[in-house]
Structure 1
């Protein structure tokens, strides 16, 4: 039996941060669940997620936001589908849905005021959409390991998890721009860094998320990847992931996939760059900020934008959290 999830108010500092700096019509507030920051709307979906049936051929891509998720999804999809790039022309959220998309973006008020709007099922009820997918299912989530479906946590099937991690500073920089663009963040970068370090951003705290999956590294059904390794030697990561997924790729397929996964091609590819989502949000005045979902993809951008005091805080926390692990950035 899956436990019934319990929700509570956020700590006082997180509550203050989120009320002051996150303003959106589709995110009326936040709660804490197992010490993870989540939108209040998640409460309607959490138990349904916990009791989800898990299939032996499920493939999950898990990550903290802005850690290379979309890049990893596209890589995993293409490897599992024998680098058939025609099938990859379908919009990524449809073929590789975001499990908790609906809990994150409550569009009920928008739809009541604009009855002409027709959102697809993977937006209106992403959990139900995933449950009804034909096998093999490809599923994306930003949920902490302790909030995943019970059967997936218990490892009672042969379902596979690919987890991608990114250094905390670059993840913070990227998440800042993402939240400015799509999630109603109105503060400056330093304020966002404070929230990130305190664990006040959605899906935070960051290090609890990373370590929750890192603790599963001995599980043969879990593959831990690093964004920095993907940037440094994508070819090797493709072979490593293909081996994990029990797929044999030819040299020609790998070359084709390397080209397909280049940042330039990903950024220009409307099947994966989320520009259609940005356009819809702008059309209905849900966002005011200009920008793109795929921004720059650099490693080490934090060096250009973080002040020395903030860098020191990040380094201190990272050292504390990674002590005793084999993970380093």
Structure 2
């Protein structure tokens, strides 16, 4: 059955019933963005975060090709150091606001067998303390990024990756079941996505904030669909952006390294340890892989027609008038 329109109060109740756990106790709206209430604990530290000009940031809405883009950018920037790429991606390319998403502090004493990386307790401080050049991942929209970055006082390189909203929604649904303990069905998840009641929504505004800055010299705007259709060209574009040169053999090796099968089986990037931790902590009771299908147009056959129509309507309304197309 297709979902019915819901009020903000309805969606807030659904969000509470399907997402809140002892790891995430509630949600707030910050400058129009839906975030866990734990954001309040880190908001000032993020605002005052000391940005460096030699930082490399990958910014995105969740499930738009972030991990793939991170691995590509890290390998190009580090001169195709595939040995160094065996280190876990969250250590090489940490997630700035990871600690905003989950509160492990109240339950860890009951689970001494679970060892969590120190970035879990204060990811902002962890990222801040990294030696240069730092590689930083974030899902925050532009207007919630650190002040020095927003104002242009510091100009790190920023790579933004966007993806078709319907595919993003499908992928985000499976991600939330596996990584965030979502307990609802797919249609309900679509209602939350469209109603801007999921972490980091609204989706379309997130894209536009970076699309409108795509001509800035320190911003590279990528599309997931281009990575799928012509990865070698995207690698070359990324290398040019990072002022790196590469041989044909290096490009060939990176294409193999970034292939779907290799990414899916690579423990440095597939977050298999995080999935196992979630199971041990009983945050989830489902099986699955963090890197799931990677397909384009996976929404076909999964979305009811009424939801497809609403997605397409919003995409035309928000993006077409700004010359952005998927």
Q: TM-score range by the shorter chain?
A: over 0.9
TM-superposed deviation, 1:11: 4.4
The aligned residue for residue 240 of structure 1 is 237
2-structure distance, mates of 1:13, 1:153: 34
Cα distance between partner residues in 2 of 1:218 and 1:51: 26
Hey, what's the Cα distance between the residues in 2 that align with 1:25 and 1:320? 38
Partner in structure 1 of residue 86 of structure 2: 89
Aligned to 1:270: 267
| RMSD (Å), alpha carbons | 1.3
Residues 51-109 of structure 1: per-residue CA shift (max 9 Å, x gap): 01111110000000000000000000000001110010000001100001111011012
Distance (whole Å) between structure 2 residues aligned to residue 72 and residue 24 of structure 1: 30
Cα deviation, residue 113, structure 1: 2.0
Distance 2:34 2:235 in 1: 33
Give unmatched runs, 5+ long, in structure 1: 1-9
Equivalent position SS for 2:29: strand
Within the candidate set 303, 307, 310, 1:310 is matched to 307
Which position in structure 2 is the counterpart of 1:65? 62
Q: Does the 8 A contact of 1:17 with 1:200 survive in 2?
A: no
Note the C-alpha offset of 1:299: 0.1
Give the 3-state SS of the residue equivalent to 2:160 in structure 1: strand
**TM superposition outliers: structure 1 runs of 4+ over 4 Å:** none
CA positional deviation for 1:184? 1.7
Counterpart check, 1:16 vs 2:18:
no
Question: Partners of 1:20 and 1:44 in 2: how far apart?
Answer: 23
**Structure 1, residues 174-221: CA drift from partner, whole Å, max 9, x if none?**
000011111121111111111101111111111111111112112110
Among candidates 67, 75, 80, match of residue 72 of structure 2:
75
For 1:278-289, list aligned pairs within 5 A: 278-289=275-286
Partner of 2:158: 161
Q: 2:126 aligns with which of 129, 153, 156?
A: 129
1:214-225 alignment to 2 at 5 Å?
214-225=211-222
Q: Which residue is 1:99 aligned to? A: 96
SS in 2 for 1:109: coil
Q: What residue is the counterpart of 2:168 in the other structure?
A: 171
Deviation per CA, 1:255-305, whole angstroms, max 9, x where unpaired?
A: 000000000000000000001110111122121111110100000010121
| Corresponding pairs, count | 320
Provide TM-score, normalisation by structure 2. Answer: 0.96
Q: What SS is found at the alignment partner of 2:300?
A: helix
